[in-house]
Amino acid sequence: MALDTHAALADAPTKDLYELGEMPPLGHVPKQMYAWTIRRERHGPPETAMQQEVVETWSIDSNEVLIMVMAAGVN
């Protein structure tokens, strides 16, 4: 998967959902995002319990900050 290495322009067209590795324009919060989810009805081994889904993003309050996570790990 190739990642965008250049910050998107603030006047670039916006979308409701960006693919993994695709960066939205600066200041734009899309309506949806990809998330790894564990649902109560999908219990069992990680291969079946954890699934990638498209979920709604939540609104950001005036005293909150949004960050873009490029990588994460579990130790």
What pTM was computed for the model? 0.69
Residue 1 has pLDDT above 70, yes or no: no
Nearest 10 degrees: CA dihedral of 55, 60, 15, 70?
-70
Residue 74 has pLDDT above 70, yes or no: yes
Instruction: Read off the tokens for 61.
Output: 């309050």
pLDDT at 12: 77
At 51 the pLDDT is: 94
pLDDT tens column, 25-73: 888 899 999 999 999 898 899 888 999 999 999 988 999 998 888 888 8
